[in-house]
């Protein structure tokens, strides 16, 4: 991989070269709070209990509504979208030769959203997975039968959609928890996915979003793993929404990660910031919008350290008032209004 220069976002201070432009700054040196640069995106939330308030609505979206949703997100300042899954539970979200299609009103929502993204300049990371049971992570990363299906799926996705200028990169959604370091199976999975991705779309970037961020060990073993991982962007989960980290405290973990990424000289450091809460028990109840005060605390905490902040997620948690593509609860309009009003004030 070509070595390129890494420049601090705010201080413009040079540091050791890395495999892709990695930007960030330590402590409080950055004079502004970074806004949300992008979001995860889905046609259906894979955990049905969590997607209670928007899965049914999105299944009935027309192509025009999917396009409107993309324009709405662009209007909220989003530049990047990360498609979580192209298939789930043995069915695809687009016309495929490999599996039957989900019974959605829109025949090809992938084409609809990429076409709209082309028009407004949004960059999509396209998922390569959930061809098998998303709950069986180890099997999904190890089974040769699933690997053959995944790679055929990547070939089909590239054939159908790589011509879109919004096809910016690939996202690998299967992941094992960070417990001090990456599991070896995760490293093998990521590198094999990237080998296929680079063969199909040499200019596309690659992205993963690990969880277990607070457990990462700041040691040489983790640095060696970063050196081994063939991936362009790592967007670590801040885990505030799943109640494993308190708002305003995740920055300490990202600062430690920053130092290790610099030493490894590999992978951009981004954040996967959770803007949801749970209606009840974690993982077993519906996702609902977090109050903006909490979201702002999260932004202030991590934005001095990471290059970009992606939200998990706009869909279901935010809706522009009056949108024709509404998905979620009524209070999603308040989070949208509070966030976009903050953007307009220039206080960031």
Q: Are 339 and 73 in contact, with CB atoms under 8 Å apart?
A: no
75-130 pLDDT per residue, tens? 999 999 999 999 999 999 999 999 999 999 999 999 999 999 999 999 999 999 99
Q: How confident is the model at residue 10 (pLDDT cuts 50, 70, 90)?
A: very low
- What's the confidence (pLDDT) of residue 347? 60
- What's the confidence (pLDDT) of residue 177? 86
Contacting residues for 279 by C-beta, under 8 A, at least 6 apart: 52, 285, 286, 287, 288
From 288, 337, 279, 280, select the one nearest 313 (Cα to Cα): 288
- Hey, what are 9's tokens? 């976002």
Give the distance between the most distant pair of CA atoms in the chain.
53
Q: Alpha-carbon distance 16 to 265, whole Å?
A: 7
Domain extents in the chain: 30-345
Share the mean pLDDT of the chain: 90
Name the CATH architecture for the domain at 30-345.
Answer: Alpha-Beta Barrel (3.20)
- What's the confidence (pLDDT) of residue 4? 26
Q: Alpha-carbon distance 263 to 265, whole Å?
A: 5
Q: What global pTM score does this model have?
A: 0.91
DSSP 289-334: EPPHHHHHHHHHHHTTT-S-EEEE-STBT---TT-SS--B-TTHHH
Q: How confident is the model at residue 20 (pLDDT cuts 50, 70, 90)?
A: very low
138-147 pLDDT per residue, tens? 999 999 999 9
Instruction: Write down the H helix ranges in the chain.
Output: 55-59, 63-75, 109-120, 137-142, 144-161, 184-200, 220-228, 251-264, 292-302, 332-345
């Amino acid at each position: 991989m070509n070595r390129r220069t890494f420049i601090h976002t705010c201080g413009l201070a040079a540091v050791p070269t890395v495999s892709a432009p990695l930007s960030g700054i330590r402590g409080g040196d950055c004079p502004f709070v970074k806004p949300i640069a992008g979001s995860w995106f889905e046609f259906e939330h894979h955990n049905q209990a969590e997607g209670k308030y928007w899965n049914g609505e999105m299944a009935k979206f027309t192509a025009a509504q999917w396009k409107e949703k993309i324009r709405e997100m662009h209007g909220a300042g989003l530049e990047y979208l990360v498609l979580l899954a192209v298939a789930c539970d043995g069915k695809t979200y687009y016309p495929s030769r490999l599996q039957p299609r989900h019974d959605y009103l829109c025949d090809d929502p992938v084409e609809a959203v990429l076409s709209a993204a082309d028009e407004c300049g949004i960059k999509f990371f396209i998922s390569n997975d959930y061809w098998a049971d998303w709950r069986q992570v180890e099997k999904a990363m190890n089974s040769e039968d699933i690997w053959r299906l995944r790679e055929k799926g990547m070939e089909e996705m590239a054939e159908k959609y790589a011509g879109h200028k919004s096809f910016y990169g690939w996202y690998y959604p299967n992941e094992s928890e960070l417990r001090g370091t990456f599991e070896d199976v995760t490293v093998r999975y990521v590198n094999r996915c990237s080998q296929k991705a680079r063969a199909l779309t040499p200019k596309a970037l690659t992205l993963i979003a690990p969880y277990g961020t607070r457990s990462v060990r700041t040691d040489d073993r983790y640095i060696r793993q970063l050196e081994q991982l063939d991936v362009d962007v790592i967007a670590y989960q801040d885990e505030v929404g799943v109640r494993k980290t308190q708002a305003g405290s995740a920055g300490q973990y990202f600062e430690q990660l920053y130092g290790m990424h610099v030493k490894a000289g590999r992978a951009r450091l981004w954040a996967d910031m959770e803007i949801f809460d749970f209606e009840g028990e974690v993982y077993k109840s519906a996702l609902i919008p977090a109050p903006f005060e909490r979201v702002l605390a999260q932004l202030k905490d991590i934005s001095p350290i990471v290059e970009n902040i992606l939200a998990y997620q706009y869909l279901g948690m935010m809706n522009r008032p009056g949108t024709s593509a509404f998905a979620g609860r009524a209070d999603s309009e308040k989070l949208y209004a509070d966030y976009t009003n903050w953007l307009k004030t220039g206080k960031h």
